[in-house]
């Protein structure tokens, strides 16, 4: 196996992000994997791979939401798979709600009494959820008038058409005809609102099973396929299972803070995925261990600089 030499990293005046990521590639440990990830993502675009972007809701709570929307806008995500929290928090931000940054070790009882809900060091108020509820009821009424039975991705497309925020995942997905899948749609506030709406409109059906057919139709056995899986859980597995049934991934980038030792989906590596056929034996793949809110922007800045220089993407 051909190997790179370890090289010392040093600060250079005017150093840009791409230069930093390139240097990290010769530092070793996760810096090397970070650099590989950037190259693999650029290769997905160079070789016309159908790219699946998966992420968990906490990443939408953070400031990564606008980057995900930008990737959709630039044609770097052909299919999106996420969780219910990611959908509702995208809508919350699109209608003007702000999330706050606090501390990891606050007085949680005091936060509860103030109506503050903590996700790590991020905070969402009860008022934001109340305004989300106020938004969803008329939105669901509009959709119900158009169509009474929808697959989940069709419901999310309709919701995206109603938004006016360029930094919204659903808005960009609807505008660019990128399907958004959310197989665990009932696992959150949005699911509760769907449940409550159905109590008054029993003929309103959100069809999760039908959406599996739409997932399979999002690519074919003959397509080159790539996945960028950020975190684990249902969003990651739903995508790679669908890809498995269409022949497996040719390119795979996993990013996670989870360990493989517990057997979790979050900790499962690209190498482990080869045993299932989710990732092809000869796939170009890497698993990066680290905080996605730090790692992913670095990787994408390097990959997008390369793609922009090659004329593969336009201005964001």
Catalytic residue ranges: 278
CA–CA separation, 256 and 269 (whole Å) = 9
- Nearest alpha-carbon partner for 191 in 95, 290, 85, 107: 85
**Would you say 54 and 154 are in contact if contact means Cβ atoms under 8 Å apart?**
no
Nearest CA to 155 out of 93, 211, 94 is that of 211
3-state secondary structure of 114: coil
Instruction: Show the beta-strand stretches assigned E in 9-163.
Output: 50-55, 79-81, 100-101, 116-119, 122-125, 149-151
The answer to whether 57 touches 86, Cβ cutoff 8 Å, is yes
Is 314 in contact with 71 (CB distance < 8 Å)?
no
Residue where the block lists tokens 């693999």: 40
């Amino acid at each position: 196996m051909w190997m790179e030499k370890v090289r010392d990293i040093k600060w250079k005046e005017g150093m840009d992000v791409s230069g930093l990521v390139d240097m990290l590639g010769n530092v070793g440990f996760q810096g090397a994997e970070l650099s590989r990830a950037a190259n693999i993502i650029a290769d997905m675009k160079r070789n016309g791979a159908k790219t699946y972007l998966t992420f968990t809701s906490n990443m939408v709570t953070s400031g990564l939401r606008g980057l995900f929307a930008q990737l959709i806008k630039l044609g770097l995500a052909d299919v999106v798979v996420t969780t219910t929290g990611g959908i509702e928090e995208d809508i919350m931000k699109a209608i003007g709600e702000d999330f706050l940054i606090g501390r990891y070790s606050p007085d949680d009882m005091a936060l509860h009494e103030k109506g503050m809900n903590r996700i790590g060091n991020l905070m969402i108020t009860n008022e934001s959820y109340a305004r989300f509820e106020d938004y969803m009821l008329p939105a669901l009424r509009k959709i119900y008038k158009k169509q009474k039975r929808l697959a989940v991705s069709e419901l999310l497309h309709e919701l995206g058409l109603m938004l006016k925020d360029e930094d919204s995942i659903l808005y960009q997905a609807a505008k660019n005809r990128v399907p958004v899948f959310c197989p665990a749609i009932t696992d959150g506030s949005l699911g509760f609102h769907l449940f409550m709406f159905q109590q008054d409109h029993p003929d309103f059906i959100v069809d999760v099973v039908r959406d599996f057919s739409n997932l399979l139709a999002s690519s074919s056995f003959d397509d080159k396929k790539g996945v960028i899986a950020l975190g684990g859980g249902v969003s990651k597995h739903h995508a790679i299972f669908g890809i498995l049934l269409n022949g497996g991934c040719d390119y795979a980038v996993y990013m996670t803070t989870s360990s493989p030792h517990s057997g979790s989906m979050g900790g499962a590596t690209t190498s482990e995925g080869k045993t299932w056929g989710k990732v092809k034996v000869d796939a170009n793949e890497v698993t990066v261990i680290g905080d996605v809110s730090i790692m992913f922007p670095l990787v994408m800045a390097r990959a997008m600089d390369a793609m922009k220089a090659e004329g593969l993407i336009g201005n964001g």
